[in-house]
Each structure stands twice: as C-alpha cells, then as structure tokens.
Amino acid sequence: MKVSNYIVKLFEDYGVQDVFGYPGVGCGHLMNSLKGTSITNHLVYNEQGAAFAVCSYAQASHRVGIAYSTAGPGGTNLVTGIANAYCDSIPTIFIVGEKDLASLKGNRKLRQCISQEVDIVRVCKPISKWSAQITKKEDIAYIFEKAFYLAQNGRPGPIVIDFPSDIQRSEIDEKNLRHFKMPKKPSCIKDAELVIDLLNSSKKPLFLIGNGAKQAGLDEAIISFAKTHSIPFTTTLICCDLVPNEDINLGYIGMDGDKSANLAVSNCDLLVSFGARLNFKQVCNNRQKFAPNAKVIRIDCDINELEYELRDEIKINKDLRTFVPEIIKCSLKNNYLDWCNECVLTKKSSSKNEPLNIVAGNVVSRISESISNDYNIVTDTGSHRRWVMSSFKFKNGQKFFQSAGLASMGYAIPASIGAYYATRNKVICFEGDGGLMMNLQELEMINRDRIPISIIVFNNQCLGDIMEFQKKIFHSYFATTEKSGYKVANFELIAKAFSLNYVKITNNEDLSKINVLSDEPQLIEVMVPSNIGEEE
C-alpha cells in the first residue's frame, strides 16, 4: 500500500471527517490520497486560515483537528495557529509535506540545501506537545498513532509532523509497521475520595470549571453533579458559554468577570477547580489573596500549572477524563441549598457590566436576542471582544470561540469556518476593522462554499486597544489612526469583491436593518465612535 493511502485510511479509522489545508508539491501525495474517501478536504487561501479553522473545528467537534501544508513557507504560515492550539490546549495535528529526505541538509551546518527547506520541527518544538520528522516509512503507524494519542490525552495540544514527499509516495507492507502502545491510566479513586471528604466537611463549596474540563467534554457531567447537590459554580472566561441560563452558574471569574462569580470566590470555604489555569487575569497580582476564606483543590493534568502556586491548596495532578467519573460516582451527605440560594440571589441582584460602547452594545444585544440556541459565536481580538462580552447574553447550546491564550488578531474569520464545518450551524462572527484585514482572503472560501456566516465588523477607524494604550502611556496614537499611519479599508467594496451581502449600521435607527437569520453569508459594518482626540 502507498504510504499516503495508508495514512488516509488511518484517519478514517480514527473518525476524521474533515481536513483543512492549502495545496503544494510537498503535500501533493497526501492530497491525492484524500480523493474519493469519506474525508472532506477543505481548501483555504492561506495556511494560517487552515490552522485557525482546525482550532475551532476541534473545539466544537471534540475530535482531533487536522491541517496540512507544503514545505517551507507553507509550514511557517501554520505557526501562529499552532501557537494558538498550544496556548488553548486544542487537540490538533499539523502535517507539513516536506521535500524528499535525500535533498535536505540533514546534520550539515547549512541554512538550507534546497528551496523552501525550513527545519519546521525545531521551529515548532516550543509551541507543540510533540514535533517530529518521519525518516523511516516503517515508523508511519507509530508516529501517527502516537500523534492522535498525545493530541487528546493529558493536556491536549498540537502535534507537528514533518512528512517527506518520498516517504509519502513509497510502498509499505502493513506487516512491517511498528505501532504505538498506549500507556495505562493511573487510578484516581483515592484522590476522588479526598475531594468528596472535603466537600462533606464544607458548608460553602464552589466549583470552578476551566478550559480543561470543556476541552475534555466533561463540563456537562460536572454541571449535572453540581445541580444534583446544589453546589454553585463559576467558569473561566473561555467557558462563559456553558449553560449560562442556569441559576447556579454565577458567571466567569477574573478582572473582567462577573461580580457574582468573584464574590462567590471570596466567600466560599472550598473551591474545587477543574482544569482552570488560574492565570493572572483570573487571580490578579497577589496569588496569596485569591479565595481568601477557602481551601482550594486544583485538579489539573499539567504538573507545570500546579507548580504556579496559590495560598492554601491541594494539588491533584490527574487527567479529568479519569478523575471526573470517579467523582460523580460518589454521593454527598451535606446539603448546600442555603449557600446556593445566597449565591443565586447575589447573581440576580448584580447588574451586568454596562456596555462600553452604546451603538456597539445595542447591535450586540439585538443579535443576541434574535438568534436561536444552535448558533456559533466567534470573536476576534480587540475592543469589540469587550463589547461582545458586556452585551451578549449567551443561550444554552450556543458555542463560543475566541483566541484566548494567544489573543491573536486574524483568528475570527477562519475560526468561523472551522466552527461551521464542525457543527453545520450558522455563525455570528464579531470582528474589528483591524482583525478582519489579517485573514481577509478567507472571505473567498466563505463566498465559494456559501457558508452561512454573518460577519459583524465594528469599524472605529482605528486600532482601538492599541490607541488607548498609546494614548495613556505615550500621549500619542502612533500607527493606530489614519493621521498616524493606519487606514481603514472600504468594507462595502470588500463585501462586493467577495460577493457577500452588505449592510451598514451608522446609528441606532439602522438597527432594523440587521438580519442574521439568513442562510447567505453577509458582512455587516457597524460604525462606532473612535474616541480619537483632536491632537495626535
């Protein structure tokens, strides 16, 4: 069997349904082997688009996302998306179709021997769980089986495989292949019993659901356990879409979080954290003052996260996939209904943050009210993300996607594509005028495939977040406004160029023009005040 055919067959065995990539000679054999299979090959217009698309695809589907590229610049174009998957713990495999092994520099101290030669394995080592080059055709089963295992188990993350073209096209005998042996998972029973004992001795317990639980698909089990025993819970920002309408969901914690969530953290006597990093934006500067009245139990499969210590904590270095089932088997003797009702009352009496921009807030609110529970919501990075978080009211069933850890501009358009193909549900994509320009080319994929994505572009004629920073620190707006080097494109002409329906919102009277229920892709430009001063 041809090696590339074997790999595609292996993909099918693992349940792969979609892959994303951009054509090239280096990945030619792999692409050819996809033809006529059950796997849909989605062609993007830049490899970074493929990388961001598989991030949201993996998050929405709870399957491993797979992207491919050709050698050299194809591989380096994937790097930002690989870093995004690494920061947000997304199970992904990135395949770089390399030149023939014989043409590469090997151990020679040269920059390159052949055009497009880049040591992508070394480039990606710091931003991947595992990065490897295939040098023997007999290793292909081992390497890809290991890749699928590592991508999903422990703390999920990206795997990078450098796949030389001569190996792709070579012939193999399946009997000669070596295979990966999955390690046994350690028992979690004793640690689970410890958590149950502490819950039974607690009067004011609180659960914190982090990205680790969401990525593992365990959020529903944890929430069900919490509801059964009247234990209120909070989330991190990336998990703000988890059953938001449940009374015992107090919202997300942190600097920009909900008042009810932060108050509960301050008042609880036991905080059980499921896969939350508890980083600076969640805990703030003084980690010794977080949850001041509580004992903290941190459950995380990444020992390095646990070594970033809090004040009074019990560290449990276990995989939630084996730990949570042990927890929910147990029963609790305590009743926390009074404490739970106290937290719910605080939530109901706490007003949501005021919109940071009135026009933008009204647009977001109108869209939030009009769409059904099965929509995907995607935001890019910029001022508009704060506007969305302050005005959008999530409904149970809606999925939310953002570049959280890396906070990359240019994420939202390709991520909207990945979210759609994972769920086949409509997408609301909130963009800024700066972020949209970073992966503009993927609008043609949206047009070509007529993907039902409504792109809401908040145009404040500047790079708002950077402008505010430079205004505050440097008393100037260097390269962030039109007067200082940044110019906003004509989005109406862009929409026309990519055959997208176009609507422009300039004030509150225009809100009636917004219709995001359409099956057709569209671009809605929302003009918002820039707060640019007269002097620059």
- Complete domains list, the chain, with CATH: 3-176 (3.40.50.970), 189-349 (3.40.50.1220), 358-527 (3.40.50.970)
**Residues 146 and 180: beta-carbon distance below 8 Å:** yes
Taking alpha carbons only, the member of 11, 14, 495, 311 closest to residue 504 is 495
Per-residue pLDDT of the chain (536 residues; tens, 9 = 90+): 999 999 999 999 999 999 999 999 999 999 999 999 999 999 999 999 999 999 999 999 999 999 999 999 999 999 999 999 999 999 999 999 998 888 888 888 888 888 888 999 999 999 999 999 999 999 999 999 999 999 999 999 999 999 999 999 999 999 999 999 988 877 778 889 999 999 999 999 999 999 999 999 999 999 999 999 999 999 999 999 999 888 999 999 988 889 999 999 999 999 999 999 998 888 877 888 899 999 999 999 999 999 988 888 999 999 999 999 999 888 888 889 999 999 999 998 876 555 567 888 999 999 999 999 999 999 999 999 989 988 999 999 999 999 999 999 999 999 999 999 999 999 999 999 999 999 999 999 999 999 999 999 999 988 888 888 888 888 777 788 888 888 999 999 999 999 999 999 999 899 999 999 999 999 999 999 876 554 44
**Residues 224 and 242: beta-carbon distance below 8 Å:** no
The b/e string for 118-143 (b: 16+ C-beta within 10 A; e otherwise) is bebbebbeebbbbbbbbeebebbbbb
Taking alpha carbons only, the member of 269, 2, 273 closest to residue 137 is 2
Give the pLDDT confidence score for residue 479 in this predicted structure.
82
Block residue for tokens 């600097």? 255
CA gap 465, 473 in Å, rounded:
12
CA gap 431, 495 in Å, rounded:
14
Residues 354, 360, 366, 372, CA torsion sign: negative
> Cβ atoms within 10 A of the Cβ of 38, count?
11
Listing from the earlier edge strand, what are the strands of the sheet with 205-209?
249-252, 233-235, 205-209, 270-274, 295-299, 313-316
Taking alpha carbons only, the member of 316, 324, 291 closest to residue 223 is 324
